[in-house]
Structure 1
Amino acid sequence: MRTFDKIISDRGSKYAVSGAPCRDAEEARTLIEGLKKAKKFAKATHNSWGLLGADGPVKNDDGESGAGMIILQQLEAAGLEGHLVVVTRWYGGKHLGGDRFRHVRDAVTHYLDAVRAEG
């Protein structure tokens, strides 16, 4: 799984984005378990994810209400199927309100730009 760490910081909250080719929800769970083997990601407040897989779109907000849908919308807009994208947030103690949605979008955009650059 490819990870971009410390890409966004706001009021103490920090964000990372990770992703990898993935076929379905079962494989997504396995990949996320692998990501969480790193203590840092296991201790994260949220590991929200989305996947346009073989069985259709699947997502998990992991407590960050609405984050999975934002990830799915961006994957659909980019036409990126068969690829898991995980946005990780470490809560910094202050509520971000609607800014958290912007940060999720920015994190996914960062990942999509990197995938596009690789060709």
Structure 2
Amino acid sequence: MLENVLSDRGSKYAVAGAPCASEDEAKALVKDLKRHKKFAKATHNSWAVLLPDAPVKNDDGEAGAGNVILRMLERDGVSEHLVVVTRWFGGKHLGGDRFRHVQTCVRAYLDEIGAD
């Protein structure tokens, strides 16, 4: 888990992930993350995972964020590994910048785990 990856206009971002073999496991991992009070209070916990049958994603209210995560996993060939980008809304809308911030978080996480 990488906390405080970046801040912009009051919004704060973190990223987490884990090996994951099914949609049910992904949901259980996100539920486990939300057991931490800080993450339970987050505005969005957007996530995605590439599975052998089909990709699975959830925007959690941050429209398009799951797709951004999924595209990066596909591009880097990272399958069966859940990535969750968490955002705490800071009061100001970020527009398209929020997608760049999701990309920054995913890249930081993939670099951390040594994905190419």
TM-score for both structures, normalised by structure 1:
0.95
Q: Secondary structure at the match of 2:109?
A: helix
- Percent of aligned pairs sharing the same letter: 63
1:93 offset after TM fit, Å? 0.2
Contact in 2 for aligned 1:24/1:55 (Cα 8 Å) = no
What are the superposed Cα offsets for residues 20-62 of structure 1, whole Å, 9 maximum, x if unpaired? 0000110000000100000000000000000001321000000
Matched residues in 1 for 2:2 and 2:88: separation? 14
What residue is the counterpart of 1:73 in the other structure? 71
Q: Secondary structure at the match of 2:83?
A: strand
Unaligned runs of 5+ in 2: none
Aligned partner letter, 2:110: L
Q: Secondary structure at the match of 1:107?
A: helix
| C-alpha RMSD over aligned residues | 1.2
TM-score for both structures, normalised by structure 2:
0.97
1:5-20 alignment runs, 5 A limit: 5-20=3-18
What residue is the counterpart of 1:59 in the other structure? 57
- Which of 75, 93, 96 is 1:95 aligned to? 93
Q: After the TM superposition, which parts of structure 1 deviate over 2 Å for at least 4 consecutive aligned residues?
A: none
Unaligned runs of 5+ in 1: none
